[in-house]
Amino acid sequence: MASPAAKPIATKESTQTKTEAAVTTGPAAAAFIAGGIGCLFIGIFTTGAEMSAGLKSFLQWDAGVGPLSGKTGYGTIIFFLSWAILHFVLREKNYDLKKAFTIATVLTVLGLILTFPPVFQLFE
């Protein structure tokens, strides 16, 4: 009896389709940049309150807290507004996250500089 010849087994490649959700970086970039914008405006309000008595009284939402309540309140409102606008604009785009982080860092640093007493006291 002859030994059976080894026959190669034919296999079909399964054609599985992988559905991958397209991940865009625009929403993350929008959040980064909006955070920087919010920080910058807190710095602007801090320095502006030293420059203008009218702005200082406008920012005083609570007498116990003083103008800090308005500075942080408006900064937060501006953050959320800019985040919503930037998210709408960038939601379906791939935005360079390094560039967004750089923009956010520069805006945040500028905002922090404007909140330091030696800086904002120059405008008293």
pLDDT in tens, 25-69: 999 999 999 999 999 999 999 999 989 889 889 989 988 888 888
Does 2 score more than 60 pLDDT?
Answer: no
**What number is the average pLDDT over the span 90-112?**
95
pLDDT at 103: 97
> Residue 6 domain-assigned?
no
- Residue 78: give the domain boundaries: 26-116
> Residue 69 domain-assigned?
yes
pLDDT at 18: 57
> Residue 124 domain-assigned?
no
Q: What is the DSSP string of the chain?
A: -PPPPPPPPP-PPP-PPP--PPP-SHHHHHHHHHHHHHHHHHHHHHHHHHH-HHHHHHT-SBTTTBTHHHHHHHHHHHHHHHHHHHHHHHTTS---HHHHHHHHHHHHHHHHHHHSHHHHGGG-
pLDDT band for 100, please (50, 70, 90 cuts): very high
Which of 6-15, 56-65, 75-84 is modeled with the greatest confidence?
A: 75-84
Q: How many domains does the chain have?
A: 1
> Residue 110 domain-assigned?
yes
> Residue 10 domain-assigned?
no
> Residue 74 domain-assigned?
yes
> Residue 53 domain-assigned?
yes
> Residue 1 domain-assigned?
no
